[in-house]
Structure 1
Amino acid sequence: MPRPLNFRQIEAFRAVMQTGTTTAAAAMLHTTQPSISRLLAQMQSASGLKLFDIQKGRLRPTHEARELFQTVQRHFLGLERIEQNVATLRQSGTGELRLGCTPALGLSVMPAVVHAFLQQHPDVHVSLQTIGTPQLREGLLHGQFDLALSTMAMRHPQLDATTLHRGNAVCVMHPAHPLAARKALHVCDLQGQVLLTLHADDEIYLQLQDTMQQHGIAAASTVETTYSATICMLAAQGTGVGVVNPYVAAVFAPQLRTVPLQPRCPVEVVLAFPPQSAPSAMAERFAALLQAHFAALRGAAG
């Protein structure tokens, strides 16, 4: 009665089919020729098939052996692909890293960190999308990102966000602006100025408007835009005084005068992973580089 074949028998059969002799098969599998012969005999007995005959002292595969070999080859090629995939994962995680961040961080923080990451992992494909915080939150919840970075809170019961850095909003203006000589600006100094601000649901905007109302301050006019980078470019043209996060202000520092704003308007950089699964090795390595980047910023400020 036929019996189940075991892996060692199939491995020996494959080696003989590939090399043509039991001696060469033994060398291929780092075993002895009698061991290969014994495994072949066991396989023929277990399968109930005649797999080889001997002609002039040489093994000759039967038609059944050739048919079986095609199936065995497909099986082993599948195993080899699995082993290759495991090796790739071990070396470079998933081989792809999907990042999401707000546009200001995509302009300021992410380029340096992505560069440092690719210096360590040049074979990893990186996808970086710069979108608003609501879209980042939805992308995380739907598994579209391996991690996301924002200067706004990503509030959701399923998301566990970590604060990587705390800073304060700054004022930016043309170096020749009348307020540019100040070491710091109080919100009262914005009275009668052309104010460059972000859109009405941005946390910096909300904090600024609340503080201005508390002090009874009114701007002469307001230019509202979606991106902090646009505020910086408008300020560089001398259009007015902008209030932005310190990260994007640093990018445009050569073109602008940047001064602290009082009372302070806190800004936090938060990191979140998708809740559906544990972070990949690549995502954890990228997060470690982000932490190192912000630790260096704290050191430079201290």
Structure 2
Amino acid sequence: MPRPLNPREIETFRAVLQTGTTTAAAQLLHTTQPSVSRLLAQMQAAAGLKLFDIHKGRLRPTPEAMELYATVQQHFLGRERIERQLAVLRQSGAGGLRIGCTPALGLSVLPPVVQRFAQRHPGVHLSLQTLGTLALREGLHNGHFDCVVSTMALATPDFDATVLHHSHAVCVMHPDHALATRAALQVQDLRGQLLLTLNADDDIFLQLQRTMQSHGIEPSATIETTTSANICRLAAQGLGVGVVNPYVASVFARDLCVLALHPLCAVEVVLAVPPRLALSERAETFVQLLREELAQLPAERV
């Protein structure tokens, strides 16, 4: 009566086909020749097929046996690939690492983190893409990133977000600017100034706009641009006063006067990951290095 084959029978069948004799198969399997012959007989009975015959004292596989062997080989080769892949994963983790971030963080906080990560994993391909927040959300939702780091809110029902660092926005201007002699700026100091701003959907801009409106403050004019780095470069040219996150301001600090602004505009570094997929070991390492880098920074600017 046919029955399902057990793993030991299949392994023995494969060894006999590989080596050509029951004696050689027994050596390969570290067992005895009678044990191999017994398992082959059991397998034939279970399969309900003639798999071998004896010709001039030698064991010969039937065509049915050869077709079955081809399928068995695919199974074992698949297992071997699994073992090889496990060895690779144990050594270096899954695939590459895909990080998405806002331009300000890609210019300021992330480079030293990438440098330390590359030292630990010299053979790993790392992709660091700097994009706007909307593109980062879409990329994470569509599986294009392992994690995303932003200075704008990222929490949605589609993924989890964690605040890694709290700080406050700062004012940047040319060192010769009339306001550069102050220890810090009040929002009233921006009255009548040429203001360098980000786009209207930026968190810092929205906070600043609300604060200025509540105090009845109007700038003389505004220059709107897409990145905090652009604001810093424009400020370094003496064009006006910009309000940016402190991370990017630190990159251009040699060319700028950087002052705290009151009332405070909150800035947060946010990490977002897909909620239904655990981080790889590489991604966990990267996040830990990022946490360590941020821990070295002031928690706030007052």
What amino acid is the match of 1:211?
T
* C-alpha deviation, 1:204, in angstroms: 1.0
Tell me how many residue pairs correspond in the alignment. Answer: 301
Q: Tell which deviates more after alignment, 243-252 or 63-72.
A: 63-72
TM-align CA RMSD: 2.7
Is the Cα contact below 8 Å between 1:113 and 1:289 reproduced in 2? Answer: yes
* C-alpha deviation, 1:222, in angstroms: 1.2
* C-alpha deviation, 1:212, in angstroms: 2.5
Residue of structure 2 equivalent to 1:247: 247
* C-alpha deviation, 1:155, in angstroms: 4.2
* C-alpha deviation, 1:21, in angstroms: 3.0
- State how 1:74-223 maps to structure 2 within 5 Å: 74-223=74-223
- The two structures have a TM-score, normalised by structure 2, of 0.86
Q: Tell which deviates more after alignment, 119-128 or 40-49.
A: 119-128
Q: Tell which deviates more after alignment, 118-127 or 16-25.
A: 118-127
The secondary structure found in structure 2 opposite 1:238 is coil
Q: Tell which deviates more after alignment, 127-136 or 168-177.
A: 127-136
CA distance in 1, matches of 2:116, 2:125: 14
Is the Cα contact below 8 Å between 1:88 and 1:95 reproduced in 2? Answer: no
Is the Cα contact below 8 Å between 2:167 and 2:300 reproduced in 1? Answer: no
Sort the Cα spacing of 1:28 and 1:204 in 2 relative to 1 into closer, same or farther, 3 A: same
- State how 1:65-80 maps to structure 2 within 5 Å: 65-80=65-80
Unpaired runs of 5+ in structure 2? none
What amino acid is the match of 2:117?
F
CA distance in 2, matches of 1:38, 1:80: 26
The secondary structure found in structure 2 opposite 1:297 is coil
The secondary structure found in structure 2 opposite 1:94 is coil
What amino acid is the match of 1:171?
C
Residue of structure 2 equivalent to 1:258: 258
* C-alpha deviation, 1:171, in angstroms: 1.5
The secondary structure found in structure 2 opposite 1:179 is helix
CA distance in 2, matches of 1:202, 1:279: 28
Q: Tell which deviates more after alignment, 36-45 or 56-65.
A: 56-65
The secondary structure found in structure 1 opposite 2:160 is coil
What amino acid is the match of 1:19?
T
What amino acid is the match of 2:102?
T
What amino acid is the match of 1:31?
T
Is the Cα contact below 8 Å between 1:140 and 1:275 reproduced in 2? Answer: no
- The two structures have a TM-score, normalised by structure 1, of 0.86
What amino acid is the match of 1:260?
A
What amino acid is the match of 2:160?
D
CA distance in 1, matches of 2:28, 2:59: 17
Q: Give the percent of matched residue pairs that are identical in Structure 1 and Structure 2.
A: 67
**CA distances 1:5-63 after superposition (whole Å, capped 9, x unpaired):** 21111111111222233333233333333322222222223224343445565444343
The secondary structure found in structure 1 opposite 2:45 is helix
What amino acid is the match of 1:240?
G
The secondary structure found in structure 2 opposite 1:161 is strand
CA distance in 2, matches of 1:3, 1:157: 50
Is the Cα contact below 8 Å between 1:53 and 1:60 reproduced in 2? Answer: yes
What amino acid is the match of 1:30?
H
What amino acid is the match of 2:13?
F
CA distance in 1, matches of 2:189, 2:29: 82
CA distance in 2, matches of 1:46, 1:29: 21
Sort the Cα spacing of 1:158 and 1:55 in 2 relative to 1 into closer, same or farther, 3 A: closer
CA distance in 1, matches of 2:63, 2:137: 60
* C-alpha deviation, 1:115, in angstroms: 3.0
Unpaired runs of 5+ in structure 1? none
The secondary structure found in structure 2 opposite 1:2 is coil
* C-alpha deviation, 1:96, in angstroms: 3.5
What amino acid is the match of 1:108?
S
